[in-house]
Amino acid sequence: MKFYEIEGGYILRGEIDVSGSKNATLPIIAATLLNEGVSVIKNVPDIRDVKMMCSILRKIGCKITREKDVLIIDATTITSSQIPEDLMREMRSSVIIVGALLGREKECSFTYPGGCEIGSRPINLHLEAFKLMGVDVLEKNGNIECKAENLIGTEIVLDFPSVGATENIMLASVLSDGVTYIKNVAREPEIVCLQDFLNAMGADIKGAGTNTIKIKGVKKLHNTEFSIISDRIEAGTYMCMVAATKGELILNNVCVEHIAAVIHKLRQMNCRVHTYKNKVKLNANRALKATNIKTMPYPGFPTDMQSQFVTMLALAEGTSIIVENIFENRFKYVPELIKMGANITIEGTTAIVQGVDTYSSANVQAKDLRGGAALIEAALAANGLSRIEGIDFVERGYENLVKKLTILGAKIRKQ
């Protein structure tokens, strides 16, 4: 298995560009199925999850080409409404294709996506919403068959502002009869980006970014060209990696508004952060200070930044309390950090972090995407040579990670 070898202890300094957002790209690739034509999507990151989503669309009849950061997706012909089981298991977020296939074909069959390293990740909110829209949902031995005469606009109130459920309902409603109201929706920037893409194809959606979204069904969508927003979690990740080494960073192509909660916490930790139109400058040459964090739905502190902050807080002066409110099992990377010298106690979904002076290099294993990024962050701060196994997880969501870190002065090699 491939691994990263990192010689840590160097202060990272430099300027890099943020790539397009993984979590905006994936639902938009699924959304192209709603247009029996060609969609051109720009600023698409070249990462494993995007490759996997494209392979699912190819398996059901789409023609997809890539030219640099541009995806050209021709969904004129769909040959199947079955999502391949292996790809469903490999990437849970492929469940987002269900809403698009229901919207277009009025049917979809798929296997239960199952849990992953950060939690059980059920899809009850997705399925309950589909039923309210007139879909028959048959669950048998882990397989799910969805079928509908027609999808009827209705009012759906989500028990939890689930990102995936919000996106799936939007996709299923775009070509439905009538008007759908979704309440207590997710308000993430990726939801707004999906609304903008669907409306660019001729949909009639309002309210993304607020707690209610209104979708007025339309008959047909048309071809469009669209550019993906920048990746707010990638931006936050590099800020944490540089801050853990007491370095300095200039990040270009940032949407500052999207990382307000992250910047607020970095400042609380004694980092200097200056914001410009679409650029952020970080200076972390002062001693890091402890702070407390509670992960929340957007615009609260993002769960996808939790592991990168715990890794930094483990080097801060004082004791920090981090409560993970979104996923029930998102501290799997902590035992690996403890191997590197961190002083962290986990009690349920709370981490109590006592700052230490530094990390020691070690051989560690990534078990999920953001936990893997956290281990790289710790290795960059540790003196000596560390090995990070399980880098397939990391390459699901970070484009050109070795190249970008090398520009910042990191000694990192993929072996």
Distance of closest approach, residue 76 Cβ to ligand EPZ, in angstroms = 26
123 binds ligand EPZ (CB under 6 A): yes
Residue 70 CB, shortest distance to ligand EPZ, in Å, is 21
CB of 115 to ligand EPZ, least distance (A): 9
Give the count of beta carbons closer than 10 Å to the beta carbon of residue 139. Answer: 11
Identify which range of 114-122, 192-200, 311-319, 351-359 contacts ligand EPZ by CB under 6 A. 114-122
To the query of whether residue 108 is one of the catalytic residues in this protein, the response is no
Does position 65 interact with ligand EPZ (CB under 6 A)? The reply is: no
CA distances from 185 to 131, 165, 192, 235 (A): 17, 8, 11, 24
276 lies in the binding site for ligand EPZ (CB under 6 A):
no
Total of residues contacting ligand EPZ (CB under 6 A): 24
Query: How many Å apart are CA 37 and CA 224, to the nearest integer?
Result: 9
Rounded to a whole number of angstroms, the minimum distance from the CB of residue 222 to ligand EPZ is 26
- In the range 178-207, which residues lie near ligand EPZ by CB under 6 A? 186
Angle at 118 between CA 107 and CA 344, to 5 degrees: 170
Residue of 21, 94, 162, 224 that binds ligand EPZ (CB under 6 A): 162
Which residue in 30, 182, 315, 326 binds ligand EPZ (CB under 6 A)? 326
168 binds ligand EPZ per the rule CB under 6 A: no
**Block residue for tokens 């940032």:** 254
Exactly one of 104, 126, 187, 258 binds ligand EPZ (CB under 6 A); that residue is 126
Residue choice 45, 113, 164, 189 for contact with ligand EPZ (CB under 6 A): 164
Tokens coding 311: 């890794």
Classify each residue of 363-401 as buried b or exposed e, where b means 16 or more C-beta atoms within 10 Å of its C-beta: ebbbbbbbbbbbbbbbbbbbeeebebbbbebbbbbbbbb
Q: Residues 116, 146, 240, 271: which is the catalytic one?
A: 116
Long-range contacts of 255-264 (CB under 8 A, 24+ apart): 255/189, 255/229, 255/230, 256/280, 257/189, 258/189, 258/229, 258/230, 258/232, 259/232, 259/235, 260/299, 261/299, 261/300, 261/301, 261/302, 262/232, 262/235, 262/236, 262/301, 262/302, 262/305
- Please tell me the number of Cα atoms within 13 Å of 212 on its side-chain side: 9
Does residue number 308 form part of the binding site for ligand EPZ (CB under 6 A)?
A: no
Residue 273 found at the interface with ligand EPZ (CB under 6 A):
no
Tokens of 122: 């059920």
Site string for ligand EPZ, 24-53 (x = CB under 6 A): --x---------------------------
The interface region with ligand EPZ, picked from 117-125, 148-156, 263-271, 354-362 by CB under 6 A, is 117-125
Two structure tokens written together for 173: 């409603």
Helix (H, G, I), strand (E, B) or coil at 411: strand
| 370 binds ligand EPZ per the rule CB under 6 A | yes
The residue type found at 225 is E
Strands 350-354 and 319-323: antiparallel
Least separation, in Å, of the C-beta of 296 and ligand EPZ? Answer: 10
- CB closer to ligand EPZ, 135 vs 369: 369
- Indicate which residues carry an active-site annotation: 116
Using CB under 6 A, list all residues that contact ligand EPZ: 22-23, 26, 93, 119, 121-126, 160, 162-165, 186, 303-304, 326-327, 369-370, 397
